[in-house]
Structure 1
């Protein structure tokens, strides 16, 4: 399984350590980094989003602020370039757990 660093520029937001799969998502343990507090409320807002979404667009409001902060996901020891959140992958963090879906691998 892959280990990842969630970054905002050079600032470590946290690390994700994959441990399983629940198709189409990879499951990971999340460990906060030094920059976590700057984005924690944004991830909490998205994690709290629930409810009917008949048109499939209700999730957009909580992820727009996350998309705008320019987060990337880099594989630790990986040779591929970093993935850009909401362009190349999606990461949803809820406490110590994360769900990851990427399409360029």
Structure 2
């Protein structure tokens, strides 16, 4: 399974290790890095979003600040190009669990 580095610029936010699949998401273990604390509250807000959101406004309110961070996922093996989070993939992190769709 793929291993990823979650980066904000050159700062390591954390690492993801895929271990399974729950279509359409890949399941991963998340290990925080030095940059995690600066983005943790935004990911917690995204993880806490539950229930209907008919017009998508609640989702936009929590995802837009994450998009603005311009986070990217870089594969550890370098075999494929990095993914821009919320442009090329969707990433949810809740504690040590992550769900990735790309």
Q: Deviations over 1:34-60 (max 9, x none)?
A: 000000000001001112122345311
Superposed, 1:1-105 pairs within 5 Å as: 1-102=1-102
> Which of structure 1's runs of 4+ aligned residues deviate more than 4 A?
none
Q: Provide the alpha-carbon RMSD of the alignment.
A: 1.0
Following the alignment from structure 2 to structure 1, what is the Cα–Cα distance between the partners of residues 81 and 20? 23
Unaligned runs of 5+ in 2: none
TM-score by length of 2: 0.95
SS at match of 1:5: strand
SS at match of 1:58: helix
Unaligned runs of 5+ in 1: none
Count of residues in correspondence between the two structures: 102
Displacement of 1:30 in angstroms is 0.2
